[in-house]
Amino acid sequence: MAKAILFDSTKCTACRGCQVACKQWNNLEAEETVNTGTYENPPDLSSRTWLKMRFIEPPDGDGKVWLFSRRACMHCTEAGCVKVCPTGAVYHHEEGFVAYNKDICSGCGYCVDACPFDVPRMVGSTLTGKKKMEKCVFCADRVANEEKPACVKTCPTGALIYGERTEMVDLAEQRVSKLAADGVDAQLYGKDELDGLHVLYVLAHSPKDYKLPVNPEVSPSVTLWQDILKVMGYAAVGAVAGGLLLNYMVARARMVKEKEGK
């Protein structure tokens, strides 16, 4: 049964407890950053920041709108990273989310460029290419032991909930209708995007305002590369090898005939 994390932006106070809990449970070092005049910190995801809160003031909000959004792996069903991973290090867990076996990661970094949400990060040497990918792992170890992911466990306001995905979808839809009844332009994000994300968002504005991609998709070039080009490669090499074998048999038979004729 697929699990999901439900993030309700209307209940989030941006305390960033989830950010800290993520680092604490996953043993991720803190980052030294500079004050850029916002509470948002660190500035971006990194190999040791798998989850961060975004503080957004949409340009048309007249300075009165302050949105908080969760930025981490979305655990897509149609996952670009899983599609391009050559070693199977990034894979779909039986509970639906995108798990990651760091031991068998080859460090190619294809997942980074195949991700529609710009989530995976690489750590290692650019010169040698000895690298590993890092991203949110849905606290697979906790989940396997029937514990909530660390970010959900620590959330003090109930903005993060964890459970069966179907139940989370129901809950989110109820919440959206209630907010709509209160006059909020609320919507659910992640129910159908990329065949269903395993992180669902209840939003009080458009996804664009939360800097979430509207209609995210795995790039067509990923499909061209993985589904067409690879098959073409096997076909081309196979056809050439077959042609050469045929040539060998015909040419050989011909030469034997010539010899016999002499």
Partner 1 sequence: MAHHEVERFSAGARLFHWTVTITAIVLAITGLFLWVPAFGSLAEDSYSRIIHRVAAVILVAAPLLFFISRPGRALHFVKYIFTWGKDDIEWLKAAPDYYFGGDEKKMPPQGEMNTGQKLWSLVAFLSVIGFVVSGAIMWFAKASIPAELFLWVTIIHDLCFIVSASMTLVHLYLGAIHPRMTESLKSMLKGKVSVEYAKHHHGKWYAEISKGKETDNKQAPSTH
Residues near partner 1 (CB under 8 A):
86-88, 103-110, 112-115, 118, 122, 124, 126, 128-131, 219, 221-222, 224-225, 229-230, 232-233, 236-237, 240-241, 244, 247-248, 250-252, 254-255, 258
Integer-rounded Cα radius of gyration of the chain = 25
Provide, rounded to whole angstroms, the least separation between the CB of residue 257 and partner 1: 9
Which residue lies nearer to partner 1 by CB, 30 or 250?
250
**How far is Cα of residue 95 from the mean position of the Cα atoms in its chain?**
15
Other beta carbons less than 10 A from residue 50's beta carbon: 24
Which residue lies nearer to partner 1 by CB, 83 or 153?
83
Provide, rounded to whole angstroms, the least separation between the CB of residue 5 and partner 1: 25
Which residue lies nearer to partner 1 by CB, 143 or 194?
194
CB 110 within 8 A of CB 120: no
Which residue lies nearer to partner 1 by CB, 36 or 128?
128
Provide, rounded to whole angstroms, the least separation between the CB of residue 143 and partner 1: 25
Which residue lies nearer to partner 1 by CB, 113 or 164?
113
Provide, rounded to whole angstroms, the least separation between the CB of residue 106 and partner 1: 4
Provide, rounded to whole angstroms, the least separation between the CB of residue 253 and partner 1: 10
Distances (CA, A) of 6 to 30, 143, 195, 201, 208: 26, 15, 16, 6, 19
- Residues 184 and 222: their CA atoms lie apart, in Å, by 38
Give 71's DSSP letter. Answer: E
CA angle 219, 50, 24 (to 5 degrees): 165
List CB contacts of 199: < 8 A, sequence separation 6 or more: 4, 5, 6, 7, 70, 72, 73, 74, 75, 190
CB 51 within 8 A of CB 73: no
CB 11 within 8 A of CB 159: yes
The DSSP bridge partners found for residue 122 are: 133
Provide, rounded to whole angstroms, the least separation between the CB of residue 166 and partner 1: 32
Which residue lies nearer to partner 1 by CB, 15 or 112?
112
